[in-house]
Structure 1
Amino acid sequence: MRIGELSRSTGVDIETIRFYEKSGLLPPPARSENGYRDYAHAHLERLAFIRHCRALDMSLADVALLLDSLGTRDPEALVQVDVLVASQLGKVRARLKSMQALEAQLVALQKRCDADHDHHACGILEELVSAAHGEACACHPGATAASPGARPASADHADAAPRSR
């Protein structure tokens, strides 16, 4: 099959397939007489495996380790697989905890809005301005101003956001 068909069958973008080939995650396919890539069913299965691992938010390095472990009976390699999944689970749990903290902060911030915008200033914006000045706010009540213009670590709103890989 050609790269377009492989892409449609797996839902993986053509450029991503080429990247996986260049990085060694996907073995190079045979070439037809006209130079087109000719992918086999094994490529489809391997690409589906990679896609599933990526959907579990595993890094490409982790995917490579898992691919290297396919078909092995080496106990040390299989222990590495267990360690990898346990580590990934720990990362997911940490992100969940971070997201729950972020949710609580946004709920606290949202409670500052009384929706009477004709007679009151926006409570949400006031809170965000306070936080920008390093002052305590609804979403970071323990914050205190350290120095003019400086934001204390406890008032750093970015700490609550999930970090990308």
Structure 2
Amino acid sequence: MNIGDIARITNLPAKTIRYYEDIGLVNPARDDNAYRRFNDNDVHKLGFIGRARSLGFTIEDCRALLALYEDKDRASADVKQIAQHHLDLIDAKIAELKAMRTTLGHLIESCAGDHRPDCPILEDLAVISQKEPC
């Protein structure tokens, strides 16, 4: 299969497939004319990576998960650890987004939204944070 075929099968853009090749996630064979030739294993790997990426796993997580998938002597605890860490990050992001929504909702409710120039939204945005810089 060529890159166009595998792009259609996996629903991944050809540019993404080339990137995954560049970083060593897949290594398709090359024809005499230097065109990529993908096999069924490449299709499976790219589908695996595409699904993992759709769940928000990083490239390095995908690399680790793919290595574990291919290691028949793996411990499922290793896979679970990667997935749990990712879930913890998602939960933290959800909490952060909920806090942002609450704050923004309060600011919107506080704003009259009329012809007057007073605006609590702008006033809040103009406040310098008292947090320590990173």
**TM-score, shorter chain, exceeding 0.5:** yes
Superposition pairs of residues 7-26 of structure 1, within 5 angstroms: 7-26=7-26
* C-alpha contact 2:2 2:37 (8 A) present in aligned 1: yes
Q: Which runs of 4+ in 1 moved over 4 A?
A: none
Counterpart of 1:61 in 2: which secondary structure? helix
1:152 aligns with 2:133: no
Q: Distance in 1 between matches of 2:130 and 2:125?
A: 10
Deviation at 1:111, TM superposition (A): 0.7
Alignment of 1:10-159 (within 5 A): 10-26=10-26, 28-74=27-73, 77-117=75-115, 120-123=116-119, 126-134=120-128, 151-153=129-131
3-state DSSP of counterpart to 1:12: coil
Deviation at 1:71, TM superposition (A): 4.3
How far apart are residue 55 of structure 1 and its match?
A: 1.0
TM-score using structure 1 length? 0.71
**Aligned sequence identity (%):** 29
Aligned alpha-carbon RMSD (Å)? 2.1
Letter in 1 for 2:17: I
Deviations 1:97-129 (A, max 9, x none): 000000001101111222322xx2242xx4423
CA gap 1:90/1:152 in 2 versus in 1, 3 angstroms: same
TM-score normalised by L of structure 2? 0.86
Largest Rg, 1 or 2: 1
Provide structure 2 residue ranges, at least 5 long, that are not aligned to the other structure.
none
The one-character-per-residue Cα deviations of 1:71-104 (angstroms, maximum 9, x if unpaired) are 43435x4221110111111000000000000000
Determine if contact 2:10/2:43 at 8 Å carries over to the other structure.
Answer: yes
The alignment of Structure 1 onto Structure 2 pairs a total of residues equal to 133
